[in-house]
């Protein structure tokens, strides 16, 4: 028989859950860059130092929050118009989070990079690969990875504003163009 958790371990689990919830809420409101460890701690009602203790840092907490979100509701693939629009809007408003950043440049923290790559696969590559496989597309894995890389590149280039028409493009028009590119 399992032992009943101690008060301290119950508090630790509750604290971790509060940190996850606070991180998800704040990053949805403000984005990754404009959310501080202090903000997360305040929203969760705990010492912000506990983020490092339980998660290793803000980026790792964000990846854990995304993983928890994926477990609740698996994401649709990029061929889903709503999903495409949601991602374009999120990156446009809040900038890229640690998962997109990891796709472009690893953080140097191997554990965080591994978790971010796994999350990238779960949230973007796998749903698209599965859609391509259902449609009988040859080389579905490679095609899904190329499509994901293209999507991330477009969103980051748009956010950077270096390509004028891309930066100014209507989100709906851009989503249509991207979906044309991604469809087999």
pLDDT band at 72 (very low <50, low <70, confident <90, very high): low
Distance, in Å, from the CA atom of 25 to the CA atom of 20, rounded to the nearest integer, reads 9
**pLDDT value of position 62:** 81
Please give the structure tokens belonging to residue 144: 């899904």
Residues 6+ apart with CB under 8 A from 126: 144
pLDDT band at 63 (very low <50, low <70, confident <90, very high): confident
**pLDDT value of position 10:** 59
**pLDDT value of position 70:** 65
Say which CATH architecture domain 1-73 belongs to.
Orthogonal Bundle (1.10)
Distance, in Å, from the CA atom of 119 to the CA atom of 114, rounded to the nearest integer, reads 9
**pLDDT value of position 5:** 47
95 vs 37, which has greater pLDDT? 37
Residue 93 vs residues 31, 131, 158: alpha-carbon distances, Å: 8, 28, 11
113 vs 134, which has greater pLDDT? 134
The pTM of the full predicted model, rounded to 2 decimals, is 0.74
Residues 6+ apart with CB under 8 A from 141: 125, 129
Mean pLDDT of 11-19: 90
96 has a pLDDT exceeding 90: no
Return residue ranges of the chain for CATH 1.10.10.60.
1-73
Helix axes 58-72, 110-120, angle to 10 degrees: 30
């Amino acid at each position: 028989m399992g032992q009943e958790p101690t008060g301290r371990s119950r508090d630790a689990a509750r604290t971790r859950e509060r940190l996850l919830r606070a991180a998800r809420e704040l990053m949805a409101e403000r984005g990754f860059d404009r959310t501080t460890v202090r903000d997360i701690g305040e929203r969760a009602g705990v010492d912000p130092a506990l983020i490092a203790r339980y998660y290793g840092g803000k980026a790792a907490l964000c990846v854990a929050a995304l993983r928890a979100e994926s477990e609740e509701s698996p994401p649709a693939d990029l061929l889903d118009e709503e999903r495409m629009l949601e991602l374009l809007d999120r990156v446009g408003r809040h900038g890229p989070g640690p998962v997109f950043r990891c796709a472009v440049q690893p953080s140097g923290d191997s554990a965080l990079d591994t978790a971010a790559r796994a999350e990238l696969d779960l949230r973007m590559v796998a749903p698209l690969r599965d859609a391509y496989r259902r449609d009988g597309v040859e080389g579905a894995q490679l095609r899904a990875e190329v499509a994901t890389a293209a999507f991330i590149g477009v969103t980051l280039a748009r956010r950077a504003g270096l390509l004028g028409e891309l930066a100014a493009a209507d989100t709906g028009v851009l989503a249509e163009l991207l979906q044309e590119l991604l469809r087999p």
